[in-house]
Amino acid sequence: MTANKMNEPSQRPVVCWFRRDLRVADNPAFHSAVATGLPVIPLFVVDSDLIAGIPSDGAVFDFQAEALRDLDENLKKLGGRLIVRKGRLLEVFSSIIAEAAPIFCFFNRDYEPSALERDSNAANFLQSKGISVSSFKDVVIHAPDEVLTTGGGTYAVFTPYAAKWKTLSKPTPVGRPARFVTPHLRSDDIPGASSIGRKVEIQSPAVRGGETNAKSRWEQFLGTALAGYGESRDIPSIDGTSMMSPYLRFGCISPVRMYADLLSAALRTGRRDFGDKYLSELIWREFYTAVLYHFPLTAGGNYRREFDSMKWNTDGSVFKAWKEGRTGFPLVDAGMRQLNRTGWMHNRVRMVVASFLTKDLLTDWREGEKYFATKLLDIEKASNVGGWQWSASTGVDPKPLRIFNPTLQAERYDPEGKYIRKWIPELRNVPAKFIFEPWKMGPALQGESGVLIGKDYPAPIVDHREAAASFKRAYYSVKDANRAPETIGSIKRRK
């Protein structure tokens, strides 16, 4: 296609701006762009400003690069190709406008506070250049402003939110996109960790990126693990979870597609409740998305404002021990080592390590949230903040004071110590009787087991019972001093 031909009104292209939707299947914005019948510019912007503000380990950028390469291959199968441009967002759009004179821009909405601001600025800029902008719901099944109380209010408790969510009519996956053409435009290299100067400390990523890998993992889970998910999801030593969270984070799979597949599985089995436990996890994700959307101050502040006065421990040595997986509590340490090695941590263990940091070590949840943000392949701001405030008892939570006993949790969910032995090899020869409390072994047994407590593996850095009691005192001191607790929700809600 010549430049003159492309610039004729009937042949001016449309832009499909890819962000957290790195796939061709069930992608509303991409489907709508192709449906115009016009040339399509599938655009991914390597935004230098955005990258500078992302603390993630280089492995996350390599995961994204894998997803982008897979996206490019899938676009080529449809006749087009991915256009990658590096630079500040509006400058990139200016270049695309000058080179191709697009008539429309399509993108899927993102509900995180910084993304909302970015998208608003981009839409205003494009419209000022005479380009029509259309956005679509994609990263969630129900947008934050769809799940509201009868009076139009926002839910701050999961159970009624989930009940309302389930009553709403669900969208269905869009059809297979048609073939299309992409104008001849320059494309930069797909960026990975090395090209943007990020060090990779996560040496063995739990999953590989891309729509193809997401589809394969999801089909495997549906066929082998969904039926037993309710029982196996809490056992960290087995492959009982879907591990789809990184794919959801980068949009390598659609939650609408996942819901449709869960519904189909329930129909095949004749059990209406089949897959309900898994569906609950998808709803939790959307609940936290809605909380952050409606109460953006929770991105860095307690939902329960009275806990702004909480006196947290600022001892950097205990935080360092927690980060390195050297607290002396095997389940906590196994979880942190899994995170540091793979960029993923089993959900049950996430709750235990978060409770330990905030309740046993009395460390501000924001420190844990920031550290998770540097390591997790599946990092989503809403879920990360929501989960950490839940663990710290400062967020949206109907039963706020939960303190996990790391030893009892290990005994219950890793009864044979398989998960602990995998991630803490220095404990591999410890007898089952002591695997959860290795510090109780005598010197002779320590020698026989090949692990000297305090040397090869640390003694507990706190006494759990005393630490839990200390947290309770601090918690109730704050609570009693604020008889009429104030929440972020009572101060600021998105209009």
Residues carrying an active site annotation? 281, 284, 312, 347, 365, 388
- Please, are residues 239 and 223 in contact by the beta-carbon 8 Å criterion? no
Residue 56's nearest CA partner among 247, 199, 189 is 199
- Please, are residues 67 and 173 in contact by the beta-carbon 8 Å criterion? no
Determine how many CB atoms are found less than 10 A away from the CB of residue 461.
18
DSSP bridge partners of 85: 45
Local structure of residue 457 (DSSP, 8 states)? B
